[in-house]
């Protein structure tokens, strides 16, 4: 397997360094370490090439166990529920892919989602296992996601984000805020919240910043333009809640909607609408806009 293929395998697969134990084979170790996964399931994954050694090669069922051996394995969720939304590809070349992600579709495998993710769908559509997302947006958020398509130029694109050489534009629909003067800038310190998947504002120096403008008014709801300077988890959702206008249909803010199920007719009204940057490989100015529209 080529270096490019190996990188892709690492990207899609989880990694385990075999722990100390009495096992004779890697298969025995996997069965002992992951007790919720049966031996027949591991044998099936191995037979399908879904368990790899440290060099990205499929292992055999009789591969000898060795403490510290690096193994890559592909997570699988039995009977994974289909997500009835469709992504679109807005741009693709040998280095960069720009996709329009619909609401409810995760960007990368996590939890109960493996195949039903934007990454896996694009890998299949483009037949490019080297795809790697350059950033993330929430599962509930729709809009633009950029992917590196070429390991040789990946680091150049990755550096756009921590060095703030890329401008990101979002749009949201939320309750009106007639008591505030726009445009405005909201800064705060975001820290882990409760439950574990939420964020909250806390004391101390700010580590997040969002500029907010009003684009359209419709009775008690306004369409806001959001321009994040930083990119913390749930930043826009927390900041809008702090201003007094939680984004419409948000299942986490201001309060968690217990046992909420995906309501495809009423998604979170938050859209990663546009990006603009200088391409680090070609030097050309790049500008992309989502084709998704937030409906009132």
Distance CA 259, CA 251 (A): 10
Residue 215, both tokens: 């684009």
Convert the pLDDT of each residue in 161-172 to its tens digit: 999 999 999 999
Residue 34 in this model has a pLDDT that exceeds 80: yes
Answer yes or no: is 153 within a domain. Answer: yes
More confident call, 247 vs 82: 247
The share of the chain scoring above pLDDT 90, in percent, equals 79
104 closest CA partner among 268, 259, 245: 268
173 closest CA partner among 117, 103, 107, 105: 103
Looking at the fold, whether 67 and 108 belong to one and the same domain comes out as no
pLDDT at position 97 is 98
Q: How confident is the model at residue 12 (pLDDT cuts 50, 70, 90)?
A: low
CATH at 18: 3.10.290.10
pTM: 0.78
Looking at the fold, whether 101 and 228 belong to one and the same domain comes out as yes
Answer yes or no: is 296 within a domain. Answer: no
Convert the pLDDT of each residue in 136-156 to its tens digit: 999 999 999 999 999 999 999
What's the whole-number mean pLDDT along residues 243-251? Answer: 98
In the listed set 73, 104, 124, which residue is the last one of a domain according to the structure?
73
More confident call, 18 vs 45: 18
pLDDT at position 124 is 87
Residue 271, both tokens: 């859209």
How many folded domains does the chain comprise? 2
Q: How confident is the model at residue 9 (pLDDT cuts 50, 70, 90)?
A: very low
Convert the pLDDT of each residue in 89-143 to its tens digit: 999 999 999 999 999 999 988 777 878 999 989 988 998 988 999 999 999 999 9
Convert the pLDDT of each residue in 188-198 to its tens digit: 999 999 999 99
CATH at 211: 3.30.2350.10
Looking at the fold, whether 277 and 165 belong to one and the same domain comes out as yes
Give the domain extent around 66. Answer: 3-73
> How many Cα neighbours within 13 Å face the side chain of 277?
22
């Amino acid at each position: 397997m080529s270096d490019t293929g190996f990188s892709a395998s690492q990207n899609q697969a989880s990694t385990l360094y075999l722990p100390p134990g009495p096992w004779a084979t890697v298969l025995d170790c996997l069965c002992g370490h992951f007790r919720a996964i049966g031996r027949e399931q591991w044998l099936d994954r191995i037979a399908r090439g879904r368990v790899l050694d440290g060099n990205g090669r499929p292992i055999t069922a009789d591969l000898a166990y060795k403490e510290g051996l690096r193994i890559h394995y592909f997570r699988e969720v039995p009977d994974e529920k289909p997500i009835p939304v469709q992504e679109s590809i807005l741009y693709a070349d040998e280095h960069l892919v720009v996709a329009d992600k619909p609401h409810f579709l995760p960007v990368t495998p996590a939890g109960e989602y493996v195949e039903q993710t934007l990454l896996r769908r694009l890998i299949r559509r483009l037949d490019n296992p080297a795809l790697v997302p350059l950033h993330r947006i929430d599962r509930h958020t729709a809009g633009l996601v950029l992917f590196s398509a070429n390991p040789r130029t990946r680091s150049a694109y990755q550096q756009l984000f921590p060095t703030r050489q890329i401008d990101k534009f979002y749009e949201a629909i939320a309750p009106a805020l007639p008591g505030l003067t726009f445009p405005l800038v909201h800064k705060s310190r975001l820290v882990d919240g409760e439950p574990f998947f939420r964020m909250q504002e806390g004391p101390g120096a700010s580590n997040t910043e969002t500029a907010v403008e009003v684009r359209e008014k419709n009775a008690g709801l306004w369409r806001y333009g959001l321009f994040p300077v930083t990119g913390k988890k749930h930043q826009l959702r927390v900041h809008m809640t702090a201003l007094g206008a939680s984004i419409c249909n948000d299942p986490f803010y201001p309060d968690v909607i217990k046992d909420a199920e995906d309501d495809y007719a009423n998604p979170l009204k938050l859209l990663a609408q546009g990006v603009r940057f200088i391409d680090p490989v070609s030097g050309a100015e790049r500008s992309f806009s989502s084709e998704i529209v937030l409906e009132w």
